[in-house]
Each structure stands twice: as C-alpha cells, then as structure tokens.
Amino acid sequence: MTNLSTIERDAIAGIDGSAMLDQVLTWVAVNSGTRNLAGLATMARLLADAFGALPGEIALVPAAPVDTVTSAGHVEPLAHGDHLSLTVRPDAPIQLLLTGHMDTVFAADHPFQTARWLDNGHLNAPGAADMKGGIAVMLAALKAVEATPLAPRLGYRVILNSDEETGSLSSSALIAEAALGRTAALTYEPALPDGTLAGARGGTGNFSIVIHGRAAHAGRNPEDGRNAIVAVADLALRLAALIGPDLSVNPARIDGGGPNNIVPDLAVLRVNFRPKSPEAIARADAAINAAIATVAAEHDVSIHRHGTFNRPPKPIDAGAAKLFDLVKQAGADLGLAIGWRDTGGVCDGNNIAACGIPVVDTMGARGGAIHSADEFLIPESLAERAALSAVTILRIAEKGGL
C-alpha cells in the first residue's frame, strides 16, 4: 500500500469490517422481496437511519406507476415500494452517482429466510451478497470519504431502489434523472468470489403477449373456435427462431387454456430477450411485430403486445474504460488484483450507461450463488471493497474527474 496517499491511508484506516457485518446481519433478517411491500418499507426505514450518518438530504421517493399483465390477460397496476434518495453537496464541482437496491428475489413465503454460517466462514443469507452487503460497502466508503479534507470537492447522489430485481420499471426514470451531469457512477452489485468485476453487459427485454381466440365446443363445433393455445405455441416457436449470435430468446411461460372439451380462447406468453447491441434490439423489435401479425392472420386471433426492452446493452466505451482503469489502479495500490469480464446479466448499470455516464456496476462485496438459497457473502470482502470504493472516489475528487 506504499502508493496510497496519507489521506487515503487515513480514510481506509477507519473502515470497520465488523460493524459492516453487523449491519448486513440486521438487514438480511428483513425479507425485502420486490413484492413484499411491508418488508421493503421496513428496509427503507433501516437504510434511511443508516445513511442518515451522512450529510445531505434523504427522501423516500414514491414508485412510478407500473402495469402488469395477469394470467387472465388483464392489464392492472402493480404496486412497488418507495425508493431511497440521498443528495449530498449538489453544488460541489465533482458529482458522482452511487446506486444499489434494497429488494431481493426471495418472496415473503420463500423458504430461504434466515442467515447461517458455512464451514468455510462464508455467510449464507438471503440478499447477503445481492446486495445488502453491497449497500454496507457503499455506506462505509462514503463515511470514509466524508472524514477526509477532500470531501468538500465532492457531491453525490445515492439511489437505493426497491425494484431492481424485476427490471427497475418503477425507478428507471429516477435513476436517469439522478445520472444527469454526473462525472461517473458506481453501482454495488456483487463482485464474483475471486473479485472479478462485470465489464460489458448485454441488454434485456421482457414481454407479455396476450392472445384472444374464440371458445367453442371441442366435439360439436371445434371449427367455430379459434384456439389461442395453438396460436401462442406458433408464436413462441417463431420468436425462439430469432435466436442468433447477438440475441438470445427465452419463451418462459404460457398461461391460459382450460377444460379439454373447450377450444381455449385465451393464452398469455411471457418471453425474455437478451440483445447484445442496439441493432439487435431494433431487429428483434421489428421481428416481434412481424411474428405477431403473421400469427394473428394465420390463426384468426387478436394479439396484444405488452412490455419493452427495458435495459439497453452496456458497452465498455472510452469513459467506462477510464473508470475501470482507475478502479484497477486503486485495487493494485491496495494489494488487490482487479479484473473484469463481459457478462449476459443486466442491472441498473445498463440504464446508467445509456445516459452516457461511465459506470462500474460490481463494486459490492465478493460473493456468489446469488438468486438461490445457496447465496453467500465473503465477510472479509466488506472492508476490502469499502476501501476500494473509498480510494476510487477520493482519486476522482483529487483529480477533478477521470
């Protein structure tokens, strides 16, 4: 650590990994699955209290309206939890954005609800790595920065949303607004167990496609029916055929149908697309519309498309490369080997990059097996990654940019 400045050494000396772990243990004890509004409200209060240790203005921002398509093909509003926003020194010359999410993929009735210690010293708990550990890293880093004489040069916005795990549909506008004019952004998704970060990411789009046919008796007059299940099967196959080098397609679920003696008049197809480029999005968007038109005509059914490409691909452009290099050098000076690799996963980093802001989106704790009951956090990485963030932020402040 000989290449660290005195300010940097003093800042990271105050990072308390034990206190961070205590925070994580408190937070993982609260179920905050995206649909658990009561749990999210509890989590938001805990986070507001914790981030109250920082200067600035904290607010709980109501979620933007979001619709969902039910299994009956109806479009209905879908409630979301509030999002936490913290604004610190908005007039400072350097402005950063730091984002995280308080929600997890584990519903209130999911069997994975409690923490336990594994034989290797890892913490197995819901949201431990993804990303309550990451939020603890963010907070500890900001506290360390605030204790330095460089803090007045730096302003920042923190957004902790309640719906990242379901696509940030109720928070994407808030994140886009918060990204405006920022020098750079850091997002606290977990790093891989060995510390590897995510580099370029593909995009994603989620769609619910509703097919209305016509019911008829399956024995007496089937010719009068228009079979929505047959139509939706045809559509699913046509969409799956779009798979290519820069696009994956996953028809994931079909709702609908009924008794064997009735020609089914309703089906709902849920399908996910993973484009690797804007061109793939444009091509897929046109192909979806063309497939819908063809199936509607051939099967004499009506089809309604719902959904969007909600996360664009995230390339490593020149600005992102500079930020990655800064993080890599900060890591090297801390004795950490920082590498990254491309991934097909998506997160709020995709949306931030689409705003033209350089972002590194795996600045959280090291861990793995996320989105499963085997999820684990490597506890010693809490202080380690907080130091990495603190040094990165301090160097941005000292340099006046990237």
The pLDDT tens digits of the residues spanning 326-342 come to: 999 999 999 999 999 99
Average pLDDT, rounded, for the chain: 97
Looking at the structure, do residues 18 and 149 belong to the same domain, yes or no? yes
Report how far Cα 108 is from the mean position of its chain's Cα atoms. Answer: 20
Looking at the structure, do residues 211 and 161 belong to the same domain, yes or no? no
Model pLDDT, residue 142: 98
DSSP 305-326: EEEEEEE--B---HHHHHHHHH
Looking at the structure, do residues 267 and 351 belong to the same domain, yes or no? no
Looking at the structure, do residues 189 and 318 belong to the same domain, yes or no? yes
Model pLDDT, residue 172: 97
Model pLDDT, residue 228: 98
- Asked which of 253, 278, 311 is the last residue of a domain, the reply is 311
- Asked which of 289, 311, 333 is the last residue of a domain, the reply is 311
296 has pLDDT over 80 = yes
Looking at the structure, do residues 34 and 96 belong to the same domain, yes or no? yes
Looking at the structure, do residues 46 and 189 belong to the same domain, yes or no? yes
- CA angle 232/235/236 to nearest 5° reads 85
What does the DSSP 8-state code read for residue 244? B
Model pLDDT, residue 344: 85
1 has pLDDT over 90 = no
353: domain CATH number is 3.40.630.10
294/301 Cα distance (integer angstroms): 10
Query: What mean pLDDT is predicted for residues 261-275?
Result: 98
Block residue for tokens 């819908």: 292
**Counted domains in the chain:** 2
Residue 105: CB atoms within 10 Å: 18
Q: Does a structural domain hold residue 345?
A: yes
Q: What is the pLDDT of residues 157-183, one digit of tens each?
A: 999 999 999 999 999 999 999 999 999
Looking at the structure, do residues 39 and 171 belong to the same domain, yes or no? yes
Model pLDDT, residue 233: 98
Q: Does a structural domain hold residue 242?
A: yes
119 pLDDT band (50/70/90 cuts)?
very high
Q: Does a structural domain hold residue 259?
A: yes
Query: What mean pLDDT is predicted for residues 11-27?
Result: 98
Q: What is the pLDDT of residues 203-227, one digit of tens each?
A: 999 999 999 999 999 999 999 999 9
Determine the straight-line distance between the first and last CA of the chain, rounded to whole angstroms.
Answer: 21
124 has pLDDT over 90 = yes
Looking at the structure, do residues 263 and 320 belong to the same domain, yes or no? no
| Phi, psi (deg, nearest 5) at residue 85 | -130, 130
Model pLDDT, residue 2: 72
Looking at the structure, do residues 111 and 222 belong to the same domain, yes or no? no
- Asked which of 311, 344, 370 is the last residue of a domain, the reply is 311
Looking at the structure, do residues 27 and 155 belong to the same domain, yes or no? yes
Q: Does a structural domain hold residue 1?
A: no
Query: What mean pLDDT is predicted for residues 351-356?
Result: 97
Share above pLDDT 70 across residues of the chain, in percent, rounded to a whole number = 100
8 A C-beta contact, residue 299 and residue 213: yes
Looking at the structure, do residues 52 and 70 belong to the same domain, yes or no? yes
Q: Is the peptide bond before 363 cis (omega within 30 degrees of 0)?
A: no
Q: Which domain holds residue 60?
A: 6-201+314-399
Looking at the structure, do residues 229 and 365 belong to the same domain, yes or no? no
Q: What is the pLDDT of residues 134-148, one digit of tens each?
A: 999 999 999 999 999
286: domain CATH number is 3.30.70.360
